[in-house]
Structure 1
């Protein structure tokens, strides 16, 4: 059995995935720590494997993997692949993955085959996380397809009918907007990001929740229509990221939710590029 470790380093969270024979079997999420060392990164992955072994990181229903299949000592996997939007942490996790697997991991970036055509002025500037998501979306939904990622930023990625990355949109995410609102206005508090009971809030907190959450829903619905009009056709829509399930339920457009999109894309990229 071939075990592959996928590591997706984002601005606020780092997601770990374990694939068995090419199928994502388990995943784990931790806060991204700008001061993380290679030793701490190794410890994080070891904790992930312990959680799988103890049933605290449940295996996917279709995973051809059992806790008994997990190695008891290094190397913990046969290879690894990393997508990072946090440059100062990339080499930290590369070193950790090398120690965990005994081989240098693949990193998503220039020179790595993705199977995507890039109709983009500077393909090297496209975030590694966005590349992984598009690879997985194309594999699961075909082309065209529109991916919406709810993270520190809210991003839109359009793969056109030819499977080319047509272009995208990057906007401030809900949490970033909520934090800026609370910090920039002296009388506005930090609020829990959840849908309000009524569109028009009868308290400051409810009004802010409506503006942030329902404003995000309206923005996503509106931009989907604008993207479709610009492209000249409709596409499947895939949401991923924190709160994607809640946002999808409030949207006027039908959308699929896939919280493992980036990790599955990393696994596919690994097998495209393995030596």
Structure 2
């Protein structure tokens, strides 16, 4: 079995693959002050809760955009699983060519999502990841990552509203039945969700226009991606497990399995 881990700015997501089947996945808040023991024991308890034998974990792969967490997390894998994890970064086999101005600036999470989308759905395509930030990545038919756009995530936008204004409350992010809002909460929800839908539709339209390819498929993932995917025809596929799938694909490539 293989432990697949994506360490993001907001959450750490952990999954377990048995052969090619994702048999469990969990989410925890990212905190840089956690020790290796806290990470190790927490993951062991998750596995125990799902009746997964940790002794059968024979591989670990990690992608991370939070460098401060990596020392503790890597030590946790070594101490509790006796495994030196494979880290997504320069020199690792992905099957993707990064043709940007500075490939080393590209976040590991973006690479993982691109790998999964290209391997599963083929190119050319646009990959949208609704995370702490929302990213739009353009991948060619030949598997080249050529262009990327980054915008504030939905939650960041929502937090800015209630943190920076004295009379606006913290709200649940959901799509109101109508954009015609008659109270403060639904007016905020309408502005956030419908405004974000507008952003998606315009950016996707503009990317297809500048790439001169109206047939590019759009694959979405990330926590709030489901709300957006259900609200616009600009997104062709929503895949909640895209990052897990990408990590497993990269692991197999580097272990000589594909």
Q: How does 1:12-91 map to 2 (within 5 A)?
A: 12-53=10-51, 70-71=52-53, 75-91=55-71
The 3-state SS of whatever aligns with 1:250 is coil
User: CA contact under 8 A between 1:182 and 1:189: conserved in structure 2?
Assistant: yes
Give me the whole-angstrom Cα distance separating, in 2, the residues matched to 1:241 and 1:132. 13
CA RMSD of aligned residues (A): 1.4
| CA shift digits 1:26-57 (9 cap, x unpaired) | 2111111221111111122112212322xxxx
Q: TM-score, length-normalised on structure 2?
A: 0.94
Deviation at 1:154, TM superposition (A): 0.6
Unmatched runs of 5 consecutive residues or more in structure 2: none
Distance 1:11 1:76 in 2: 29
Asked whether 1:257 is paired with 2:245, we answer: no
- How many residues matched? 255
Q: Are 2:204 and 1:206 aligned?
A: no
Asked if structure 2 preserves the Cα contact closer than 8 Å seen for 1:76 and 1:100, the reply is no
1:211 is displaced (CA, Å) by 0.7
Partner of 1:230: 210
Determine the C-alpha separation between the residues in 2 that align with 1:34 and 1:149: 23
1:6 and 1:245 mapped to 2: Cα distance?
A: 22
Distance of 1:77 and 1:38 partners within structure 2:
18
Correspondences of 1:159-198 after superposition (within 5 Å)? 159-198=139-178
CA distance in 1, matches of 2:18, 2:77: 17
Distance apart, 1:22 and its partner CA:
3.7
Q: Which residue of 1 aligns with 2:200?
A: 220
CA contact (8 A) 2:200 2:234 kept: no
Native 8 Å contact 1:75 1:99 kept in 2: no
Q: Which runs of 5+ in 1 are unaligned?
A: 54-69
Pair 40,76 (structure 1): closer, same or farther in 2 beyond 3 Å: farther
The alignment's TM-score, normalised by the length of structure 1, stands at 0.89
Correspondent of 1:240 among 206, 214, 221? 221
Kept after mapping to 2: 8 A contact 1:149/1:239: yes
Question: Structure 2: how far apart are the matches of 1:187 and 1:77?
Answer: 50
